Structure 1
Amino acid sequence: MKYLLNFLFFFGFSILATAQNQVLKLWPATPPLQKEMDLKEEVVQEGILRISNVQEPLIEVFLPTPQVATGEAVVIFPGGGYGILAYDWEGTDFAKWLNSQGIAGIVVKYRLPNSKSLIDPKEVPLMDAQRAMRLVRHHASDWNINPSKVGVMGFSAGGHLASTLSTQYAHELDRDKDAIDQLSARPDFSILVYPVITFNERFTHGGSRKNLLGDTPSKELIERFSNELQVDENTPRAFLVHAQDDQAVPLENSTLYYQALHSKGVESSLHIYPKGGHGFAFGRSRGAVENWTEVLLDWIKNLN
């Protein structure tokens, strides 16, 4: 059964600014590369809260209680093939879980490239991701966050965005900038969960590539957004997890990225489970993959 939640969703956002979490716009006015159009976001609850046609990009900030805060923060990019955002399944559920571990969780409602209001769609998700990172560092002291311990977490196409930010954090377009734009957008670490990494025809997720780059992208664009080709010595450390039986995003996406990191001397961690499929999130009731979050916590604790 399908329920349209537009009113409730936005009303809920308006009252979420509590001691535990708050909502902030990414941009003070009309976001860059966006035309003013009378378009509505779509919010549908079908077991998973799905958001599409994002017009007002936001971050929703979940903070742990000060007594248990580690100073670490994770900026979360939900997946959805660059067509929708699986906002709770791969977003707010993980932010709340991170809070239970003393880690701040910041969920990004980023713009999707299939919106008709966008001027240069392929550039917009990265631009929103950069702004989210900078906004977290801007508020670091207010939120009890160490600005040198801010990582990213991305699922599926959100993993593509997280790895794009990790390799193209310094990419800039000619636009008006404010003081927040002067802060670093480089993540200190990345957590990539069944991520789309490559746009190489053999291993890519076709829907994500088509939604971001269109039907017939140039070779230059395919290479630019094949993030295993963009890794260098300054790319942040990564934790990657994938299932061998993933029929949507081949596990080679994770192995290609790990190999690129290894070749540049970037210490990282790759975990492949035999079963789990795609979109397993916490992996509940899917066998051994259910343990991946515990492995992740150990990795985070040993980052320093």
Structure 2
Amino acid sequence: MIDRRHTLAALGSTVAALGLGSAQAQQHTAPPETLADPEETIELWPGQAPGAPARPPVERIVERSTDPALRDRAITGVVRPRLTVFRPQTPNGSALLVAPGGGYARVVLDKEGYEIGRWLAARGWTVFVLFYRLPGDGWQSGPDTPLQDSQRAMRLIRSRAADYAIKPDRVAAMGFSAGGHVCGDLATRHDARVYAPVDSADRLSARPDLAAPIYAVQSMRLPLAHPGSRTLLLGDAPTPALEAAHSPQDHVGAATPPCFLMHAEDDDVVPVDNTLAFRAALRRAGVPVETHLFAQGGHGFGLRGVAGKPAAVWPELFVRWADTHGLG
């Protein structure tokens, strides 16, 4: 793992580039409330998503912010899994699928989706924010429901690479908290057959070229598991076999892509040991992994929650790491 003191000293101007540096950086870090939502949407499935319950959920968007100038929307009851697209002015050829968090009870739109989408699009990345179905809403595929959506999303992105001026071998995935579990599940089970193919896109690989689970829910075993995510994903009393089936550390192998991991050590919602356990599994399998741990940050901070703290450098660290793997 990288020593934070040496990292921060080496980056120097990086902190400035995240909000206090050049005029270009200042332009790209405008307050999120001043920026419009993306208008481009890609539906994941032709017609209804697979395995719909007899009474499909009702999709609702809830504004959780008490500050009228700062958006913090969350979506519940996702019934139309889809991607919203952040197109850069000058594409660099790389794409990122982003799975926001929300404890598998909701999808946190702004803080862990749109903000990183805008930040990376300003730096040339084409970003696709995933509205994934929630496993507690009665879908027939149960705990594999978010994996269905993330696999399908990766395949659709690759199938439309020419439309977005991206390269099919430069498509990464990132996820936050429970969305980090979506990301980790995709990274380790990208070739699992969890749905029947529906069109030619499903002949393409769902494997991300890089993966970045951020303060991720990873283990489904207590006491390491996040209780709320575990219950919504697996039910009240999952068997040890079911826990293992949905703990990404148990599925790391030679085909797992290089991973970028980040967590705050004072996270009192998803223990940092989730990231450490996943890192250990990656190292045992010989999968390249870069890990950044910060003393402060808590949980669910995205970009806005660590402004002015050392952890604020994490997006730049991700970009620099991805560049060493040919993305960016």
The TM-score, its normalising length taken from structure 1, stands at: 0.90
Pairing partner for 1:166 from 173, 182, 187: 187
TM superposition shift of 1:287? 1.8
TM superposition shift of 1:61? 1.1
TM superposition shift of 1:202? 2.1
* Identical-pair percentage: 36
Q: Partners in 2 of 1:175 and 1:231 — Cα distance?
A: 24
Equivalent residue, structure 1, for 2:19: none
Residue deviations 1:104-143 (CA, integer Å, cap 9, x gap): 1100001001214x22321211000100000100100111
Equivalent residue, structure 2, for 1:26: 44
Pairing partner for 2:113 from 75, 91, 96: 91
Query: What aligned pairs does 1:111-190 form with structure 2 within 5 A after superposition?
Result: 111-116=133-138, 118-173=139-194, 175=196, 177-190=198-211
Equivalent residue, structure 1, for 2:220: 199
- Distance 1:290-1:251 versus aligned 2 partners, 3 A rule: same
Q: Partners in 2 of 1:302 and 1:21 — Cα distance?
A: 32
Query: Are 1:51 and 2:75 matched, yes or no?
Result: yes
Query: Are 1:225 and 2:246 matched, yes or no?
Result: yes
Amino acid in the other structure paired with 2:73: L
The DSSP-based 3-state class of the residue aligned with 1:215 is coil
The DSSP-based 3-state class of the residue aligned with 2:63 is strand
Structure 1 window deviating more from structure 2 (269-278 vs 280-289): it is: 280-289
TM superposition shift of 1:21? 5.0
Query: Are 1:248 and 2:272 matched, yes or no?
Result: no
Equivalent residue, structure 2, for 1:101: 123
The DSSP-based 3-state class of the residue aligned with 2:256 is coil
Equivalent residue, structure 1, for 2:5: none
TM superposition shift of 1:294? 1.6
TM superposition shift of 1:253? 0.7
Q: Partners in 1 of 2:53 and 2:213 — Cα distance?
A: 32
- Distance 1:38-1:265 versus aligned 2 partners, 3 A rule: closer
TM superposition shift of 1:177? 2.8
TM superposition shift of 1:263? 1.2
Flag structure 1 segments of 5+ consecutive residues without an equivalent: 1-14
Flag structure 2 segments of 5+ consecutive residues without an equivalent: 1-35, 66-71
TM superposition shift of 1:288? 1.0
Amino acid in the other structure paired with 2:75: I
**How many residue pairs align between the two structures?**
284
Amino acid in the other structure paired with 2:74: R
Does the CA-based 8 Å contact 1:21-1:63 persist in structure 2?
no
Q: Partners in 2 of 1:173 and 1:243 — Cα distance?
A: 33
The DSSP-based 3-state class of the residue aligned with 2:148 is helix
Query: Are 1:61 and 2:79 matched, yes or no?
Result: no
- Distance 1:286-1:225 versus aligned 2 partners, 3 A rule: farther
The TM-score, its normalising length taken from structure 2, stands at: 0.83
Equivalent residue, structure 2, for 1:6: none
The DSSP-based 3-state class of the residue aligned with 1:90 is helix
Does the CA-based 8 Å contact 1:197-1:257 persist in structure 2?
yes
